[in-house]
């Protein structure tokens, strides 16, 4: 099954997609949108474009596991994405993914505008890789 993940942001949202065998996650794009409704529409359209069968939405949690106001916004966004796309959405813990994405980009010496354009897609890949590992272990 092809799975798409999103790392929701206030301005930029990273998108990643798996291969059909759920073995690998690849960065796809970054959607720049501030309006929540238009963002949900763009994500639903991207899922259709990628022939995704499931959407994983990163759920921001605090380091102690509690949820803040952004988590509720992500829950609402996931519900709207599900309504618009007709696909199931899964919320997935995204703690430290953006920090890890910055670390990966540091290791690859990615700087400046290129870094800003890719960090969210890399974070989406990390969310998806974690989810794919979970699915693999559930089989």
- The pair of three-digit structure tokens given for residue 19, joined into one six-digit string: 């291969």
Q: pLDDT exceeding 90 applies to what percent of the chain?
A: 60
Question: Could you give the number of structural domains in the chain?
Answer: 1
pLDDT at position 4, please? 98
Task: Tell me the pairing of strands 54-59 and 25-32.
Answer: unpaired
Which residue would you say has higher pLDDT here, 53 or 121?
53
Looking at residue 75, its pLDDT comes to: 94
- Say what the alpha-carbon torsion angle 95, 102, 33, 82 is, to the nearest 10 degrees: -40
pLDDT at 93: 87
22 pLDDT exceeds 90? Answer: yes
Q: Decide: 94 and 58 in contact? Cβ < 8 Å.
A: yes
Burial 3-39 (b: 16+ CB within 10 A, else e): bbbbbbbeebbbbbbbeeebeebebbbbbebeeeeeb
| pTM score | 0.85
pLDDT score, position 103: 61
Write the CA distances from 93 to 3, 34, 64, 71, 74, integer angstroms.
16, 22, 12, 10, 11
pLDDT at 26: 94
Token output for 130: 């974690």
Assign residue 12 the CATH number of its domain. Answer: 3.30.420.140
The 10s digit of each residue's pLDDT in 47-78 is: 999 999 999 999 987 667 677 778 899 999 99
**131-135: average pLDDT:** 93
Note the pLDDT tens digit of each residue in 79-96: 999 999 999 999 998 865
Q: What is the mean pLDDT of residues 21-44?
A: 96
What is the residue range of 51's domain? 3-138
What is the C-alpha end-to-end distance of the chain, expressed in Å? Answer: 14
Which of 73, 85, 70, 87 is CA-nearest to residue 36? 73
């Amino acid at each position: 099954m092809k799975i798409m993940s999103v790392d929701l942001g206030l301005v930029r949202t990273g998108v990643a997609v798996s291969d059909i065998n759920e073995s690998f996650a690849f960065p796809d794009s970054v959607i720049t949108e501030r309006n929540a409704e238009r963002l949900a529409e763009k994500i639903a359209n991207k899922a259709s474009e990628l022939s995704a069968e499931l959407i994983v939405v990163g759920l921001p949690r605090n380091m102690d596991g509690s949820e803040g106001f952004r988590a509720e916004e992500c829950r609402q966004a996931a519900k709207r994405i599900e309504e618009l796309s007709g696909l199931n959405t899964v919320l997935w813990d995204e703690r430290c993914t953006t920090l890890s994405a910055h670390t990966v980009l540091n290791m690859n010496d990615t700087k400046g505008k290129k870094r800003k354009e890719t960090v969210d897609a890399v974070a989406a890949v990390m969310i998806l890789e974690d989810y794919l590992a979970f699915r693999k272990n559930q089989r």
